[in-house]
């Protein structure tokens, strides 16, 4: 039997997070396994897909994607994600329901690629949809939803999904993904670079990138976590550094967290200064967008 580390299931059913058991015999293949999870009256609507998804820092887990729902994509579908929770048991998480639904939603491609600044892959689902009536209304069009695993739940990356637009295949999306990510990141709110550099000039003790970061952003306070990613342009004598700071779990009933992005360069005196800076934030469920964006939360 193939190794089963993570199972992603798209279905028309909706379950809260729970632990369930599946009977897996040694001779079972992926299609046989799917039968343990497909709801009664539903059917597979896409071939089984395997891929990598990072579910916790430094841990890459194989997953199996099964899409099923009503025939011909009528009524759409919802998603379930199963993580191993012991021998023949899985914890189940819902994929967020799509913001927009159509009369017909037929999954065409399911794949995994990196759609943001971290090292983890995201889940992409491209659908062929149809809505409307008449010669001008009843035409096929394509939409892609991108899902990101965020500590304990999946979130729809609205900005990336919007930037993908009507691209119809995984190959087209993969080819344009670097530009798509850049456009999405460009939606971040610009920060006052002159003001940030004045902070650095006024503080003579900040010499290293980590010391500089502590000057540029607010102290770690009233939040659950903060992660810092630093990438230099060279192993030795770096002249440019990209910094991404991600906060999560704010003590706020609307804003869940924020992400800061800085580019630092060395000036003629060998001092690090900010050449660009931007910020985006994401909202708690039910209070707005679940990816980082300058749009306000509600």
pLDDT of residue 134: 61
In this structure, are residues 103 and 91 in contact, taking their beta carbons and an 8 Å threshold? no
Instruction: Read off the pLDDT of residues 81-96 as tens digits, 9 standing for 90 and up.
Output: 777 677 777 777 777 8
Instruction: Read off the pLDDT of residues 222-278 as tens digits, 9 standing for 90 and up.
Output: 999 998 988 888 888 888 898 989 999 999 999 999 999 999 998 888 889 998 899
pLDDT of residue 142: 93
69-83, 133-147, 282-296: least confident range: 69-83
**Phi, psi values for residue 149, rounded to 5°:** -85, 120
pLDDT of residue 176: 95
1: pLDDT strictly greater than 60: no
Three-class DSSP labels, the chain: CCCCCEEEEEECCCCCCEEEECCCCCCCCHHHHHCCCCCCCCEEEEEEEEEEEEEECCEEEEEEEEEEECHHHECCCEEEEEEECCCCEEEEEEECCCCCCCCEEEEEEEEEECCCCCCCCEEEEEEEEEECCHHHHEEEEEEEEEEEEECCEEEECHHHHHHHCCCCCHHHHHHHHHHHHHHHHCCCEECCHHHHHHHHHHCCCCCCHHHHHHHHCCCCCCCCEEEEEEEECCCCCCCEEEEEEEEECCCCCCEEEEEEEEEEEECCCCCEEEEEEEEEEEECCCCCCCCCECCCCC
Closest by CA position to 225, among listed 255, 254, 256: 256
Instruction: Read off the pLDDT of residues 178-225 as tens digits, 9 standing for 90 and up.
Output: 999 888 888 889 999 999 999 998 988 888 888 898 999 988 999 999
pLDDT of residue 162: 87
Instruction: Read off the pLDDT of residues 7-61 as tens digits, 9 standing for 90 and up.
Output: 555 554 334 444 444 444 433 466 776 777 778 888 877 777 777 776 555 555 5
What size, in residues, is the chain? 298
Q: How far apart are CA 194 and CA 196, in angstroms?
A: 5
**Phi, psi values for residue 165, rounded to 5°:** 60, -125
Q: Where are the domains of the chain?
A: 6-185, 189-283
Reported confidence tier of residue 103, pLDDT bands at 50, 70, 90: confident
Reported confidence tier of residue 295, pLDDT bands at 50, 70, 90: confident
pLDDT of residue 57: 55
pLDDT of residue 15: 42
């Amino acid at each position: 039997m193939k190794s089963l580390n993570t199972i992603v299931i798209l279905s028309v059913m909706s379950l809260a997070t729970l632990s369930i058991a599946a009977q897996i015999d040694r001779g079972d293949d992926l299609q046989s396994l799917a039968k343990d999870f497909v709801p009664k009256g539903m059917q597979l609507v896409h071939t089984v897909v395997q891929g990598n998804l990072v579910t916790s820092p430094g841990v890459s887990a194989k997953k199996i994607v099964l899409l099923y729902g009503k025939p011909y994509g009528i009524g759409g579908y919802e998603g379930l994600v199963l993580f191993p929770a012991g021998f023949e048991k899985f914890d189940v998480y819902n994929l967020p329901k799509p913001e927009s639904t159509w009369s017909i939603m037929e999954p065409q491609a399911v794949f995994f690629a990196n759609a943001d600044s971290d090292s983890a892959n995201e889940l992409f689902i491209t659908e062929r949809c149809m809505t409307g009536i008449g010669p001008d209304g009843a035409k096929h069009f394509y939409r892609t939803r991108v899902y990101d695993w965020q500590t304990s739940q999946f979130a729809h990356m609205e900005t990336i999904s919007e930037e993908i637009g009507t691209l119809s295949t995984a190959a087209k999306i993969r080819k344009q993904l670097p530009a798509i990510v850049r456009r999405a990141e460009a939606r971040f709110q610009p920060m006052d670079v002159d003001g940030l550099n004045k902070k650095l000039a006024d503080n003579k003790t900040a010499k290293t990138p980590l010391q500089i970061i502590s000057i540029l952003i607010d102290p770690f306070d009233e939040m659950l976590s903060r992660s810092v990613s630093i990438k230099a342009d060279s192993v030795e004598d770096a002249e440019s550094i990209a910094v991404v700071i991600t906060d999560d779990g704010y003590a706020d009933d609307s804003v869940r967290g924020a992400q800061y992005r800085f580019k630092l360069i060395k000036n003629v005196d060998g001092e690090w200064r900010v050449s660009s800076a931007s910020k985006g934030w994401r909202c708690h469920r039910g209070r707005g967008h679940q990816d980082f964006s300058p749009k306000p939360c509600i």
